[in-house]
Amino acid sequence: MLDLDESFLIIAETWKKCKAGATGLVHATLMTNSSVAFLAQLARELEAFSPHLNTLETIVAQVYMEPAVNSILVPHKLEQAEAVKLVSAIHEGFQRNLEIFQQVRKGRADVKAAH
């Protein structure tokens, strides 16, 4: 996750410099593309080591939601991969419902239109 965070920071800084005229569009695009290639390689290595960590959502669940994963792991006699996928799915559903609620609250859509 640190490599991911560092890559995002590098990309953001490069594009900020591009917008300020301190670097060119080709350089910013090259930095972005090389970071994407690097992260894709990391993802392949991670998936080979832990096949259930094949999406950003499951990686986030594994790294940042460990207490939630652990809280269902033992009591429900789940494998680590099953618990991570379940927490990931619950979080994804929560995020989707939160976005719908925010749209409706701001008056941008009614509940049916927001789905």
- Asked if residue 42 and residue 25 are part of one domain, the reply reads yes
Q: pLDDT tens across 70-106, in order?
A: 999 888 899 989 999 999 998 888 888 878 877 777 7
Helix (H) or strand (E) segment spanning residue 33:
helix 25-49
- Asked if residue 103 and residue 70 are part of one domain, the reply reads yes
Q: pLDDT tens across 11-41, in order?
A: 999 999 999 999 999 999 999 999 888 888 8
- Asked if residue 104 and residue 60 are part of one domain, the reply reads yes
Rounded CA separation 55/34 (Å):
20
Q: pLDDT tens across 62-74, in order?
A: 888 889 999 998 8
Residue 89 belongs to what domain range? 53-115
> Which residue would you say has higher pLDDT here, 113 or 79?
79
- Asked if residue 4 and residue 45 are part of one domain, the reply reads yes
CB within 8 Å of 15: residues ≥ 6 apart: 28, 32
Rounded CA separation 28/20 (Å):
12
- Asked if residue 61 and residue 30 are part of one domain, the reply reads no
Q: Is there a contact between 68 and 101 (Cβ–Cβ < 8 Å)?
A: no
pTM above 0.85, yes or no: no
- Asked if residue 26 and residue 3 are part of one domain, the reply reads yes
- Asked if residue 70 and residue 14 are part of one domain, the reply reads no
pLDDT band at 45 (very low <50, low <70, confident <90, very high): confident
Number of domains in the chain: 2
